[in-house]
Structure 1
Amino acid sequence: MTLLATGSLLVAGSVAAGNDVVVDSDVTKVTQVLAAEVKAERITVEQAKEMELNRAETYEVTSTVSVDNLGMQISEKLKDSIMPYYSIEFNDPTSDDESYKAVVTEYFGKVE
């Protein structure tokens, strides 16, 4: 998987647009929806390691409809979560299947 991003996520270079990939502009849309609807803070996997956070749960979200639908599904899952942080990895642009995918990882604070 390639980690794409805007804001606090990491951009893994430009990608060719295709019907089955999540590209930079799509990431921006999803990011805006999540920022408005989710209380948790979006971070990168690297930030989670630096902050010594613990991974609570990792799950894949898939939509065969649209990127907007993918964002809505991610938002619904994160709204129900009590974890304070999350990261998102979007599908690899070389994927041959016809769905939009994201792997969401939720984190909680360092246990002392």
Structure 2
Amino acid sequence: MKQLGMFILSVGLGAAISAGTAVAGDDVVVDSDVTKVESELAKKVKAQKITVEQAKEMGLNRAETYEVTSTVSVDNLELQLAEKLKDSIMPYYSIEYNDPTSDDEAYRAMVTEYFGKVE
């Protein structure tokens, strides 16, 4: 499967570079992976995904921050994220993925959960 991924990555390399998309090795979460993961999470999780900037603008309080890691695949990372977030009672969350220039051997996501302003 990794060979197929490398073939697809190699074939799409020229298009990705011309489109300005980050191209990285198999061990990182790139733009197309992020779109797929977030689309699947939206189907499985009740909480609303927001950006860190939106959380600040909305005056939200940070409830918890944790890292989710998969050494298997981006799909496995999405499954782990869904498991963590589907049981959460927090109404909002944000996700920051590992840097595409990382030489790490794992797919990583830093999740922060938020709750509303305390009046």
| TM-score category (smaller protein) | 0.7 to 0.9
**Equivalence for 1:66:** 73
1:55 paired residue among 39, 59, 62: 62
Q: How does 1:1-112 map to 2 (within 5 A)?
A: 14-112=21-119
TM-score by length of 2: 0.82
CA RMSD in angstroms, aligned pairs only:
0.9
Alignment size in residue pairs: 100
The list of structure 1 runs, each at least 4 consecutive aligned residues, that deviate by more than 2 angstroms after superposition, is: none
For the 8 Å contact 2:29–2:74, the answer to whether it is kept is yes
Report the structure, 1 or 2, having the larger helix content: 2
Return 5+ residue gaps in structure 2 as ranges.
Answer: 1-19
Structure number with larger C-alpha Rg: 2
Give the Cα–Cα distance (whole angstroms) in 2 for the partners of residues 95 and 60 of structure 1. Answer: 16
Give the Cα–Cα distance (whole angstroms) in 2 for the partners of residues 66 and 58 of structure 1. Answer: 22
For the 8 Å contact 2:24–2:101, the answer to whether it is kept is no
Instruction: Among all aligned residue pairs of Structure 1 and Structure 2, give the percentage whose two residues are the same amino acid.
Output: 80
- The structural deviation recorded for 1:63 is 0.2
Return 5+ residue gaps in structure 1 as ranges.
Answer: 1-12
